[in-house]
């Protein structure tokens, strides 16, 4: 029986100082061209937290407006703030930087993150007021250190500085004297990923309305690697984040495939649950500090704000069929194989039409396609075009080639089966999954019946292969079947075991 999407959580964390000091575009510029005009201009292009909350795509990401509502606003969006925008949304929240830095420390279990006493006493009451941050997490935050200690660690001990509003407020120290995989820089990147994953987990559990210890398994699908010099990508982000989030009943593992990982992870989660291996599985991912301000040079050149100033995170709870929630149809998974080839046509065929053909469906039978949902406000000024739109045009062109629509219907197809992008350019974060929250809601409301989620990944960036990657799956309206509860299954197993034991005991007695 198919498993279902039971809840989704989507979070953003506004981290402008991480953008300035840790985004690779900025760190590379500082190293190679320290006097550059770009670095000089950055401060004038930083957005305030309020501006980030009021940003239309961000409000869409946390579920306070729909992609359809977003599409009705003419682009660009950065100069059209949402009135009365709120930090919390239907699916999650936009966390400010000070609270995120505290959460970063709460996620560190090796005394690597240190914040100044003044910063902690100023910011802690705000995090303490957070509806989902409990005493267990708050108790992990240290009272703080004095500014001298921070200065010393940064200047003398290779620590990575942490800034807030341009001021040095803390540091992340290296976790080993000479192991490059435990350097302060890598520890910060990994803790950022972990902390944003933790926040996503807290939201998905809250959305699902279940006990934290009811989660069986967690799969992390971010793009970071944690380990030491003897096992650089040893893992396991999933279990590390589950620990801080209080998911005491969960085990977990990491799944990687660049931006395709979330779709791979969801297929695995759906399979594990429908096979009865686990009661439920959460697929989670935190954000990536390296990608902050990735296209910043183009944004600054064009007089725009630096819009890649948020970390993204999401978590999706996949559970047993409850008879109501949308089903993940594992019979309709598309995959880009080793032999598929890398032309866009071969890729789209393998991901879209191959699974549809197997199910006897047409391209137009899918109500919505969720592709690489990157926010065009960010990508267009950087010369990368409108990524979702290009994907929809490709799917439409394939439909033309298959005589499912006429060539002059491409525009109408894109409008009907596509969406504008709203997700931050955080690699894996925009990849197919941002629509799952809306898809669940729309399918359950009966306004749509089938959605295809497509994840694609650029494996060649890791220089292990020239191959591309991608997988897809379909979620659809629940067919009404409900799985027996696990409790009754366990009861049955218990009864059988008891009967077998009694039978054996009787046999022994008879033989004796």
Partner 1 sequence: MDLENQRRVKELSEKYGAENMVIVLGAAESEAAGLAAETVTAGDPTYAGPLTGVSLGLRVYHICEDEMKAEIAEQVYEDQVSMMEMVLDVDSIKKEMSAIRSEYCKF
- What residues line the site for partner 1 (CB under 8 A)? 341, 343-346, 348, 383, 385, 390, 393-394, 397-398, 400-401, 407, 410, 463
For the CB of residue 345, give the shortest distance to partner 1 in the complex, in Å: 4
For the CB of residue 24, give the shortest distance to partner 1 in the complex, in Å: 14
CA atoms lying within 13 Å on the CB side of residue 456: 22
For partner 1, the closer of residues 297 and 428 by Cβ is: 297
Strands of the sheet with 113-115, listed across from one edge = 113-115, 167-172, 160-164
**What is the dihedral sign for C-alpha 400, 403, 405, 409?**
positive
CA atoms lying within 13 Å on the CB side of residue 71: 13
For partner 1, the closer of residues 34 and 383 by Cβ is: 383
For the CB of residue 180, give the shortest distance to partner 1 in the complex, in Å: 21
For the CB of residue 35, give the shortest distance to partner 1 in the complex, in Å: 15
* Nearest of 173, 183, 179, 192 to residue 231 by alpha carbon: 179
Task: Report the SS3 class of residue 98.
Answer: helix
HEC profile of 128-191:
HCCCCCCHHHHCCCCCCECHHHHHHHHHHCCCEEEEECCEEEEEECCCCCCCHHHCHHHHHHHH
For partner 1, the closer of residues 343 and 485 by Cβ is: 343
For partner 1, the closer of residues 361 and 384 by Cβ is: 384
For partner 1, the closer of residues 210 and 397 by Cβ is: 397
For the CB of residue 357, give the shortest distance to partner 1 in the complex, in Å: 15
C-alpha span between 289 and 273 (Å, rounded): 32
Tell me the CA end-to-end span of the chain in Å, nearest whole number: 46
Within 62-130, residue ranges assigned H as helices are 67-71, 97-106, 117-128
In degrees, rounded to 5, the angle at the alpha carbon of residue 461 between the alpha carbons of residues 187 and 218 is 50
For partner 1, the closer of residues 278 and 468 by Cβ is: 468
Q: By the 8 A CB rule, do 312 and 12 touch?
A: yes
For the CB of residue 473, give the shortest distance to partner 1 in the complex, in Å: 22
**Bridge pairing between strands 327-335 and 217-220:** unpaired
For the CB of residue 383, give the shortest distance to partner 1 in the complex, in Å: 6
For partner 1, the closer of residues 27 and 390 by Cβ is: 390
């Amino acid at each position: 029986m198919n498993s279902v999407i039971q809840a989704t959580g989507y979070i953003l964390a506004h981290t402008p100082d991480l953008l300035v000091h840790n985004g690779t575009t900025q760190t590379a510029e500082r190293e190679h061209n320290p006097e550059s005009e770009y670095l000089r201009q950055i401060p004038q292009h930083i957005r305030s937290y309020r501006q980030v909350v009021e940003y239309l795509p961000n409000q869409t990401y946390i579920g306070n407006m729909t992609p359809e509502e977003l599409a009705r606003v003419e682009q660009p969006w950065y100069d059209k703030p949402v009135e009365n925008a709120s930090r919390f949304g239907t699916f999650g929240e936009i966390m400010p930087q000070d609270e995120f830095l505290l959460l970063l420390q709460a996620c560190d279990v090796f005394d690597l993150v240190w914040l100044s006493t003044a910063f902690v006493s100023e910011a802690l009451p705000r995090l303490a007021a957070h509806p989902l941050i409990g005493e267990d997490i708050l108790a992990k935050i240290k009272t703080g250190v004095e500014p001298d200690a921070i200065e010393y660690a940064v200047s003398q001990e290779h620590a990575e500085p942490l800034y807030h509003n341009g001021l040095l407020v803390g540091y992340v120290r290296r976790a080993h004297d000479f192991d490059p995989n435990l350097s302060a820089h890598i520890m910060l990147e990994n803790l950022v990923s972990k902390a944003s994953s933790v926040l996503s987990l807290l939201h998905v559990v809250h959305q699902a309305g279940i006990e934290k210890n009811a989660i069986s398994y967690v799969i992390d699908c971010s793009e970071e690697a944690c380990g030491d010099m003897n096992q650089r990508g040893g893992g396991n982000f999933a279990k590390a984040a589950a620990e801080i989030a209080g998911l005491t009943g969960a085990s977990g593992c990491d799944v990687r495939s660049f931006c395709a990982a979330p779709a791979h992870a969801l297929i695995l989660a759906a399979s594990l649950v429908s096979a009865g291996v686990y009661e439920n599985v959460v697929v989670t991912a935190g954000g990536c500090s390296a990608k902050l301000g990735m296209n910043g040079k183009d944004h600054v050149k064009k007089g725009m704000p630096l819009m890649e100033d948020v970390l993204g995170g999401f978590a999706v709870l996949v559970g047993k069929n409850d008879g109501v929630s949308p089903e993940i149809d594992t019979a309709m998974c598309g995959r880009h194989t080793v032999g598929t080839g890398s032309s866009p046509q071969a890729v789209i065929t393998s991901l879209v039409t191959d699974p549809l053909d197997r199910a006897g469906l047409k391209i137009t039978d899918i109500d919505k396609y969720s592709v690489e949902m990157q926010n065009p406000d960010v990508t267009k000024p950087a010369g990368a075009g409108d990524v979702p739109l290009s994907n929809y045009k490709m799917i439409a062109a394939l439909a033309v080639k298959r005589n499912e629509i006429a060539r002059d219907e491409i525009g109408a197809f894109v409008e009907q089966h596509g969406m504008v992008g709203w997700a931050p350019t955080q690699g894996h974060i925009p990849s197919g999954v941002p629509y799952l929250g809306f898809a669940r809601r729309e399918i359950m409301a009966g306004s749509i019946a089938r959605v295809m989620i497509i994840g694609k990944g650029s494996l060649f960036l890791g220089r292990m292969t020239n191959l591309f990657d991608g997988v897809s799956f379909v979620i659809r309206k629940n067919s009404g079947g409900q799985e027996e509860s696990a409790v009754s299954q366990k009861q049955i197993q218990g009864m059988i075991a008891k009967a077998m034991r009694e039978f054996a005991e009787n046999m022994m007695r008879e033989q004796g």
